[in-house]
Amino acid sequence: MKNFFTSRPLFSRNLSININGQIMDLSVPRVMGIINTTPDSFYQGSQIPEPARAVETAREMINSGAAILDIGAVSSRPGAEEVSQEEELNRLSPVLEALRNEFPDFPLSVDTWRSEVARAVHQQFRVCMINDISAGRFDSKMFSTISELGIPYVMMHMQGTPENMQDSPDYENVIDELLQFFGERVHMLRKRGVNDIIIDPGFGFGKTIEQNYRLLHYLDSFQMMELPLMVGISRKSMIYKTLDLEPGEALNGTTASHMAALLKGASLLRVHDVKEAVETVKIFQQIVESRSNKV
């Protein structure tokens, strides 16, 4: 699979997903806020294990314009060790219960690669989206579970596992290989009747800084998949290492990277800083709308 770059004509895309019977239009990009119930996420500001703080943070994100909240209980930072399923659910449950009590109808996603966790949070807390960093590779039952639950599914590309993904990332052509990967995984999901699929190229997951920036430059190549594209680039090492900063200082670089991703076709930004990301989307939309305005 070669030369899937920006000079090729692109097909129209289905940029909507069904969430709890409601259609969410992603032709205008949306923002997903990150709430981590982990003690060891790479960005300390996203570590919110206490239910009361999670509710406070969620309220702020919703008021700032988040369309979805993504709750995670297992760190996927480089070198992170695996957490048991029991511990993952123990971390998730009190936070999800508090969020559901306070925001009964707001769209919640859970960041997990385990099918049984996906099933449990959907049944107990009406979680309406699963965000899987492994694209079904770590749990062979994930695709059939998503099909059975009938909820949107975000699948991300990662080379290796969180423990070893940054040891020596290697690609002949990172764009071609990711397109091949997603083509195969989407086909498997379609055979199971899954229609609401979002793809995530996996910035920082088994990729060097140079590979990440190549991926960002050619991000519009993924439009040929005719699926919504999620970008999770917020405060990541490709930004803060390039700028010689710490993650907590990388908001400005994140905003610049978000605009680049939007201009290259991102439909959903997964972020730590919702207000700033929503403002970036508004500026982007103004740029887009100016093309049809007569001045």
Residues taking part in catalysis: 236, 270
Identity at 262, one-letter amino acid code: L
- Sorted by sequence, the CB contacts under 8 Å of residue 129 that are 6+ apart come out as 19, 68, 70, 107, 108, 109, 110, 151, 152, 153, 154
Separation between Cα atoms, residue 295 and residue 288, nearest integer Å: 14
Say which DSSP state 177 is in: H
Look-up of token digits 């109808």: 105
Separation between Cα atoms, residue 295 and residue 143, nearest integer Å: 50
Identity at 40, one-letter amino acid code: D
Say which DSSP state 242 is in: T
Residue environment code for 55-73, b if the CB has 16+ CB neighbours within 10 A, otherwise e? bebbeebbebbbbbbbbbb
For residues 223 and 264, the answer to whether their CB atoms sit within 8 Å is: no
CA of 27: how far to CAs of 12, 205, 220, 223, in Å? 11, 26, 14, 12
Dihedrals phi, psi of 38, to nearest 5 degrees: -100, 155
Separation between Cα atoms, residue 227 and residue 26, nearest integer Å: 10
